Amino acid sequence: MSDPIDLAQEAEERYRAVALRRHQLRAVCKEPLTPGVCVACGDPIASGRLAAFPVARRCIECQQDLEREARRRGLDRKMEERGR
Ligand SMILES: [Zn+2]
């Protein structure tokens, strides 16, 4: 005969084990960031770009996409003020 509290504890332990495992898997996936490979598309990053930005994690195309997106989200105003 199982005590409901025992069952709840067991369920919680199982839940924690799963969460911990997921966390570990995520950490492992995140860790081996291959230098010189774009994190967004997986293409190799141009060596010229790597020389200029050794910490670059995106290829030029993805970086430009990102910057375009950032500008679209509200940086245009600043750009215009400075530009003209
Ligand atoms: Zn890319």
Residue 84 has pLDDT above 80, yes or no: no
54 C-alpha to center of ligand 1: Å? 15
- pTM for this predicted structure: 0.46
Residue 64 has pLDDT above 90, yes or no: yes
pLDDT for 22 equals 72
Handedness of CA 61, 59, 41, 56 (dihedral sign): negative
Return residues with CB closer than 5 A to ligand 1 (ion). 38, 40-41, 43, 59, 62
As a whole number of angstroms, the distance between CA 84 and CA 68 comes to 19
Where is 76: in which H helix or E strand?
A: helix 76-83
CB 62 within 8 A of CB 70: no
pLDDT for 66 equals 92
Q: How many CB atoms within 10 Å of residue 56?
A: 19
Could you tell me which of 60, 68, 69 has the C-alpha nearest to residue 41?
60
Confidence of residue 33 (pLDDT cuts 50, 70, 90): low
